[in-house]
């Protein structure tokens, strides 16, 4: 069983604050790391697909970094807005299985 952990489990921030959360995963047999955003009553949607150590991806105010050697990825949100409120999931793909192991998610609430 692969251990993929996310922290914190939940987070409340004020509109305009910047925030970040962590995904930790096994540092061996790495293939890819995904970040998804899951808004209430909607389907999870991919934010980033990360495959290389040192990868940095950015989409608008959201960015992510990847360290495969130590087994962690950070997701950053700059200037949080209420519409950023969602559960953010990371998923680890190992080189052998090609199945995704999801973390339990970080539930972000941005207060206006």
Would you tell me which residues interact with other proteins (CB under 8 A)?
A: 31-32, 34, 36, 42-46, 49, 51, 89, 91, 93, 97-105
When the beta carbons of 28 and 51 are compared against other proteins, the nearer one is 51
Question: Shortest gap between Cβ of 112 and other proteins (angstroms)?
Answer: 26
Question: Shortest gap between Cβ of 58 and other proteins (angstroms)?
Answer: 17
Report DSSP letters for 63-109, one per residue.
Answer: EEEEETTTTEEEEEESS--GGG-EEEEEEEEETTT--EEE---EEEE
Spatial CA neighbour of 64 closest among 90, 83, 87, 85:
90
When the beta carbons of 18 and 104 are compared against other proteins, the nearer one is 104
């Amino acid at each position: 069983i692969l251990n993929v952990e996310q922290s914190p489990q939940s987070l409340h921030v004020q509109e305009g604050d910047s925030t970040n959360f962590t995904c930790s995963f096994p540092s061996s047999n790495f293939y890819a790391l995904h970040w998804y955003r899951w808004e209430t009553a909607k389907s999870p949607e991919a934010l980033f697909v990360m495959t290389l150590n040192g990868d940095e991806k950015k989409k608008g105010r959201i960015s992510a970094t990847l360290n495969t050697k130590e087994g962690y990825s950070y997701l950053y949100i700059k200037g949080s807005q209420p519409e950023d409120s969602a559960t953010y999931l990371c998923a680890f793909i190992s080189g052998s299985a090609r199945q995704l192991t999801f973390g339990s998610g970080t539930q972000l609430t941005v207060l206006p």
